[in-house]
Structure 1
């Protein structure tokens, strides 16, 4: 497993959010491999043709990334992950994706603790959702860089 690959916990959170039409013949494992290929390319900036064979055919990975960038799927996934963080009692904050960088900001007590006013308790931020949001922001940023 590479550093850019989704962890099992991240995959479990992302899988229910994926478009239904993308799974053919019940092959969600193949879908994870393709998404890992997109994440690898976003993290490394390597040319698509240089994508390691373990991600499958580079053309398939490239086409998925382009299609999901064009139809807003990456942005929708990012928004849904952020909404899940908010639904878990997380403090408002987010990821700013600009022309030059991906910046994470947090509004609240700290980057790791959120305060639930209703219950009067401090809650730990969900590191899986935070990591997943960052990965999706990198993919969105990659799409903006490459047009």
Structure 2
């Protein structure tokens, strides 16, 4: 059933192209690699040449095929449409030493700091890391993914994450982006964030930090009222944690081996689409 949903989105070889290896075989090879975390060269022969699988992953990353597959999966009619109580959070994944060394155009120094920062890799005492910023619907299904270096903060990526949500419901018009409710933890409890959400007309359930409560109390009557906080809605935030758990069942996602951030993101999109289609 999943293959039937995405089959129309897969490229068709042109007239001048040679014989293409079956899409199902190639995608299964990519999934084997993501599940095991093994090097590409260790891909079993039943999936065909490893270079074919890697090249197909890279090519479909460049032309946006993986984004289109996730967009189609999000509106797949399985009787459970998108639930617009959106939960957001982030998770840091350790990057293997093989993930470093990608060159940028015009930069001949493999592994330079510029190349590392440009590929969503951060350096710290613990080594290289990447942070996954994730938005899920009320049933814990992925809606959007943004990658940053591991030391990046959560709050600065919130609006970029919300802007990345585009759900086409099959009807004419623009895709839907605005949730009915946003649920997030204290990492997003900033005054400017609340102001920005208010301007967008997005209700939210974000608890206050202890220092914010103390600062308002110190001002007395001039401190204003506390922001509205629905504790019952906030209890639903665990769906995003459960989604991270599902993604990290795939070893190549729990540890980043890909040098290019775009290829690692495409791997996340592929597994996200499978979550929707199951």
Is residue 2:76 matched to residue 1:84? yes
Is residue 2:176 matched to residue 1:63? no
Which residue matches 2:235? none
Instruction: Give the Cα–Cα distance (whole angstroms) in 2 for the partners of residues 82 and 103 of structure 1.
Output: 15
Distance 1:144 1:70, change over 3 A: farther
Is residue 2:259 matched to residue 1:146? yes
Which residue matches 2:31? 39
Distance 1:32 1:84, change over 3 A: same
Instruction: Give the Cα–Cα distance (whole angstroms) in 1 for the partners of residues 50 and 19 of structure 2.
Output: 21
Which structure dedicates a bigger proportion of its chain to helix?
1
Aligned residues: 111
Once the two structures are superposed, residues 106-129 of structure 1 have per-residue CA deviations (whole angstroms, 9 ceiling, x without a partner) of 32xx569xxxxxxxxxxxxxxxxx
Aligned-pair distance for 1:68?
A: 1.1
The runs of 5 or more residues in structure 1 that have no matched partner are 1-8, 113-133
Aligned-pair distance for 1:105?
A: 2.8
Contact 2:5 2:72 in 1 (8 A): no
Aligned-pair distance for 1:77?
A: 1.2
SS in 2 for 1:21: coil
TM-score, normalization by structure 2: 0.31
Aligned-pair distance for 1:26?
A: 8.9
Moved segments of 4+, more than 2 Å: 19-22, 24-28, 83-90, 92-107, 141-146
Contact 1:94 1:104 in 2 (8 A): yes
Which residue matches 2:8? 16
Instruction: Give the Cα–Cα distance (whole angstroms) in 1 for the partners of residues 78 and 90 of structure 2.
Output: 19
The runs of 5 or more residues in structure 2 that have no matched partner are 92-129, 142-245, 261-278
TM-score, normalization by structure 1: 0.54
Query: 137, 143, 160: which one pairs with 1:106?
Result: 137
CA RMSD of aligned residues (A): 4.3
